[in-house]
Amino acid sequence: MRDAWIRTRRGAKAVLDASTAYGVAWEEEADARGALTPTGVLLLTNRECPFTCVMCDLWVNTLDERVPAGAVPGQIRQALAGLPRVRQVKLYNAGSFFDPGAIPPSDDPAIVEALAGIAHVIVESHPAFLAGVHGERCLRLRDALARAGATLEVAVGLETAHPDVLARLNKRMTLESFDEAAAFLTGNGMALRVFVLLQPPFLAAAESLTWA
């Protein structure tokens, strides 16, 4: 019901091409040791995230259906070919990389191949896609990247540590499920990146900095 309430307030989606990333950028970002690292930011075109968070606008740049096999590796090859040399790559897909409805798992080997020469790869995922069979996929990707000489980092949108506000965001995650995902990633040799909303909805401005 809350999903429907949120969805009725949405406008139209952008028109996207499944063979092209909808956003590509080059930036320098500090690595874990503080050194500036040339980074490719790839906003992958793929199916909409199955969650319906109240504050999210990422659905605008998504498709209704899963992209065909081979589309995402093609997007990556095309995007990297147009960028100056990068050392690390962010593959952000407006959802969860390990959601099989978003990026076909059969594409993972070709994705690793498309990332040849990259030292560090960052993907994003909801905690629900870091457990069970999805967690196993994450470990397989970590291992395949390691064989190619790269490390894997996973970004998780915690959004806020305020338990009641987190529940009202309609993200269907809890502080406990975040903790489990964080333990899974760090316990398996992957870096964890966390997205936090500085001013989430439902939280008074005077309290937001403290909770962030």
Q: Footprint of ligand SF4 on this chain (CB under 6 A)?
A: 49, 51-53, 56, 58, 94-95, 126, 157, 171
Q: Which is nearer to ligand SF4, 87 or 171 (CB)?
A: 171
Q: Work out how close the CB of 58 gets to ligand SF4 at its nearest, in angstroms, rounded to a whole number.
A: 5
Q: Which is nearer to ligand SF4, 26 or 195 (CB)?
A: 195
Q: Are residues 61 and 45 in contact, defined by beta-carbon separation less than 8 angstroms?
A: yes
Angle at 42 between CA 39 and CA 45, to 5 degrees: 175
Question: Which DSSP symbol is given to 106?
Answer: G
Q: Are residues 21 and 78 in contact, defined by beta-carbon separation less than 8 angstroms?
A: yes
Q: Which is nearer to ligand SF4, 140 or 172 (CB)?
A: 172
Q: Work out how close the CB of 157 gets to ligand SF4 at its nearest, in angstroms, rounded to a whole number.
A: 5
Q: Work out how close the CB of 151 gets to ligand SF4 at its nearest, in angstroms, rounded to a whole number.
A: 23
**H/E element holding 155?**
strand 151-159
Structure tokens at 142: 């970590």
Output the CA torsion sign for 94, 99, 104, 106: positive
Spell out the residues 6+ positions from residue 33 whose beta carbon is closer than 8 angstroms to its own.
none
Long-range residue pairs from 9-18, CB within 8 A, at least 24 positions apart, any chain: 10/59, 11/60, 13/59, 13/60, 13/61, 13/62, 13/64, 14/60, 14/61, 16/45, 16/61, 16/62, 16/63, 17/45, 18/45, 18/46, 18/63, 18/67, 18/68, 18/71
Q: Work out how close the CB of 76 gets to ligand SF4 at its nearest, in angstroms, rounded to a whole number.
A: 19
Q: Which is nearer to ligand SF4, 74 or 95 (CB)?
A: 95
Q: Which is nearer to ligand SF4, 51 or 178 (CB)?
A: 51
Q: Which is nearer to ligand SF4, 135 or 157 (CB)?
A: 157
Q: Work out how close the CB of 49 gets to ligand SF4 at its nearest, in angstroms, rounded to a whole number.
A: 3
Q: Work out how close the CB of 15 gets to ligand SF4 at its nearest, in angstroms, rounded to a whole number.
A: 20
